[in-house]
Amino acid sequence: MSIKLSRRNFLKTTAAFATLFAGSHAFLGQPDGVAAASKDQVPRLIPTVCGMCEARCGVLAYTQGQKLLKLEGNFRHSHSLGKICPRGVAGAKFLDDADRLKSPLKRVGNRFEPISWDVALTEIGAQLSQIKQRLGAQGLAWLRHPEISDAWDVQFMRAFGSPNLFATTSLGRASRNAAAQLTVGDVPVFDFAHSRYILIFGRNHAESIFTADITRLAEAKERGAHLVVFDPRLSNTAALAQEWISLKPGTDGALLHALMNVLVTEKLYDAAFVEKYTVGFAQLADYVLDKTPGWASHITDVPADTIRRIARELASQRPACGVDPSWHGAWGSLYGNSLQTARAALCVNALLGSYGAIGGLQFSPKPNLAALPFKALPPVTAKRVDGVGDGRFPLGSPTEGVPQLLPEIIISGKPYPVGALIVNHANPARSLPNTQKAEQALRKLELLVVIDVQMSETAELAHYILPESSFLERDDPLAISARLVPEVALRQAVVKPRHDTRPAHEIIAGLAKSVGLESAFGFTARQSVEAQVKPTTESLTALDNDGVWQEDYKPVNGVARFATPSGKVELVSDTLKKAGFDPLPAYEPPLAEPGLHDFRLLTGHEFAHTGTSTQNNRYLAALCDENQLWIHPARAARLGIENGSWVVVKSATDQVRVKAVLTEGIHPEAVWLAHGYGHGTRGQTRAFAKGANDNILTADRAEPMAGGAVLGETIVTVGRG
């Protein structure tokens, strides 16, 4: 006999068995006169949403009273598929961490003193009003790492009247996002599960934030899919692949152009798809005519025969194949050519006919939700301080901006002064390039307010610190997924707040009230959920119980829809042309080239950490408490550097001292340093002075079209230290 369970019923059955087991002593001969377990002693299974990074995976919290027993993945959620990464598991350790922020704090001289919420908000509101009266609304800037309640950040700035909203996420993917909007209308998602041939340029799925992606990649490989990783570094994803190809850093675009050359000249492209769904093919075909594998080989260090073979193998599997959209990699925001590199990759996928195909690239469907019940506000008329949308960065995001330029703007007061900054769940004193300049700018501000769960280098410079409840202690708005199904998940508190903390959306609403803007909000997170799910068939009770709701959805395979002006893939972009840039995905070399004795500094994330926010976590610090510099043995030998020895890494901005790791898993022209270490606040007792801060070496530069951070354009020297 077989029993079939739906996913929802499985969760309900699991919860029922957990409750039954917790009280099973009543059925196993409990002696008369022994009191039954109190309600707080009965273990509970509560679905919620992880907050350890921006993936927002569905998780299940096992609790007993106000004690969190463990976290595990919610198998119904498309981001996790029942698995969570080490960061998700370690989220439980934030609850009772002695280093947590426990109450609002106000700077008094060189120290902080506890202050009540009412007094803190009143004082901040008064100072914001004074700055607005003197400098205009645009005198306030807001920097955040977007969370589930990001709409509250956006609404506050609209209500206040300032256009200067920034996001640290643009540091890693501004170029990719702009390229995707220009070329196909949105960032596509790779259907790894059904693909037969996958190319990855610099993205490290094995240590990334979406556990479902590496699960599907591994399953696809087991079913015979061929995985090729182009990366100057032997990442864990490259180790999973059948082929790791170490190309010269920053030359990914040249290789992509050579792939297009083979597809076009050997007529291996999908002619029917190109005819129906693209514009500008004739111009693109003419442009790549001389971008031969031989041409690319001299630029990339990849043999011409290898490029030609991969192009042919790729075409043989179309349309269930393609180039994976990057994140922080070569076409995220690393180089001055990242936006056009991203355009080239998206064009390769068009030549393969991959869009809309099973095993190709698709666009994440949106669930049928009502809009958030915010009060409609007039548009902000002031011009952005960083030039986004005003000529300097015509393709930049008006809600993310170019945050790496904010310190120079604050210091110089140009094009106009910024006197106040609110930082929500971000740490610009460590996450922005050119650390010294970032800290100098933060010290100059008249008012710096930080919303966070823990002390940070930025918080230490603040005038006020407003402590946020951890993701396990708060109810939040709906989390909308970004995979291949229309899906929402509900974050709900699994325990009561341990300290005098509040959710960020409540803090922001309180700030709005302090400056007389309370009418711009007027509803709770729970009421926002109720409003949004009204058009759906999901009840709030079911969402509370299951944590995840997926709308019935059947993709129309083989049909592609593009949210571009033409409704097609724009191989040639009129938008770029009108902005004064090359309308083709033209190849340009990186902005900077290392000399004979220099290296290109590459940075990235490790499996255990998210940005600069998790190095102090008890579990994660035990896994990775410091970073080390990857350097090729041949280059190290010439410099007299041994494995494990101390080295000094110098750039045009500063220097760090760090241990070296000799490995052939790095291109000889580059060195690699994991991001997020080198904390300088004693408020993080486990992370303090562990490892090196990579951003102290990077410059505050910007890619000219969308303002990407070009972090891979840093040239360094390495010497014994």
- Higher model confidence: residue 83 or residue 11? 83
- Alpha carbons 416 and 409: distance in angstroms, whole number: 8
Are 568 and 635 in a shared domain? no
Q: Is residue 92 part of a domain?
A: no
User: pLDDT (tens digit, 9 = 90+) per residue, 343-393?
Assistant: 999 999 999 999 999 999 999 998 999 999 999 999 999 999 999 988 799
232: which DSSP letter? S
Are 568 and 648 in a shared domain? no
Average pLDDT across the chain, whole number: 92
pLDDT value for 298: 97
Report cis status (omega within 30 of 0) of the bond before 319. yes
Report how far apart, in Å, the C-alpha atoms of 574 and of each of 105, 307, 315, 387 are.
51, 30, 28, 21
The answer to whether residue 10 scores a pLDDT higher than 80 is no
Q: Is residue 239 part of a domain?
A: yes
Query: Do 422 and 451 form a contact (C-beta atoms < 8 A)?
Result: yes
Q: How confident is the model at residue 26 (pLDDT cuts 50, 70, 90)?
A: very low
Domain of 693, CATH number, reads 2.40.40.20
77: which DSSP letter? S
- Alpha carbons 582 and 572: distance in angstroms, whole number: 9
Q: Is residue 208 part of a domain?
A: yes
Are 568 and 662 in a shared domain? no
User: pLDDT (tens digit, 9 = 90+) per residue, 139-189?
Assistant: 999 999 999 999 999 999 999 999 999 999 889 899 999 999 999 999 999
The answer to whether residue 643 scores a pLDDT higher than 60 is yes
pLDDT value for 12: 35
Lowest mean pLDDT among 16-25, 520-529, 664-673: 16-25
Are 654 and 568 in a shared domain? no
pLDDT value for 39: 64
- Alpha carbons 384 and 393: distance in angstroms, whole number: 11
Domain with 663 in it: 599-720
> How many domains does the chain fold into?
2
Query: Do 500 and 117 form a contact (C-beta atoms < 8 A)?
Result: yes
Q: Read off φ and ψ for residue 355, nearest 5 degrees.
A: -70, 130
Own/partner contacts of 35-43, CB < 8 Å, gap of 24 or more, are 40/64, 40/65, 40/66, 41/65, 43/18, 43/19, 43/69
Please give the torsion angle defined by the CA atoms of residues 364, 366, 367 and 373, in that order, rounded to the nearest 10 degrees: 140
Q: Is residue 170 part of a domain?
A: no
The closest alpha carbon to 269, from 221, 216, 316, belongs to 316
- Alpha carbons 295 and 291: distance in angstroms, whole number: 6
3-state secondary structure 652-707: CCCEEEEEEEECCCECCCEEEEECCCCECCCCCCCCECCCCCHHHCCCCCCCCCCC
Are 568 and 611 in a shared domain? no
Are 291 and 342 in a shared domain? yes
Are 568 and 626 in a shared domain? no
Are 649 and 568 in a shared domain? no
C-alpha dihedral sign at 337, 340, 345, 346: positive
Looking at 520, 555, 572, which one is the last position of a domain? 572
Are 568 and 616 in a shared domain? no
Q: Read off φ and ψ for residue 380, nearest 5 degrees.
A: -80, 130
Q: Is residue 713 part of a domain?
A: yes
DSSP, residue by residue, 508-538: HHHHHHHTT-GGG--S-HHHHHHHHHTTSS-
Three-state DSSP class for residue 72: strand
- How do strand 487-490 and strand 646-650 relate by DSSP bridges? unpaired
Output the six-digit token pair for 312: 């042919």
Are 608 and 709 in a shared domain? yes
- Alpha carbons 310 and 302: distance in angstroms, whole number: 11
The answer to whether residue 332 scores a pLDDT higher than 80 is yes
Are 249 and 336 in a shared domain? yes
pLDDT value for 11: 34
Q: Is residue 620 part of a domain?
A: yes
Residue ranges of the alpha helices (H) in 640-698? none
Q: Is residue 421 part of a domain?
A: no
The closest alpha carbon to 530, from 365, 366, 370, 368, belongs to 370
pTM of the model: 0.92
The answer to whether residue 25 scores a pLDDT higher than 70 is no
Query: Do 482 and 364 form a contact (C-beta atoms < 8 A)?
Result: yes
Q: Is residue 52 part of a domain?
A: no
Are 220 and 354 in a shared domain? yes
User: pLDDT (tens digit, 9 = 90+) per residue, 666-693?
Assistant: 999 999 999 999 999 999 999 999 999 9
Domain of 306, CATH number, reads 3.40.228.10
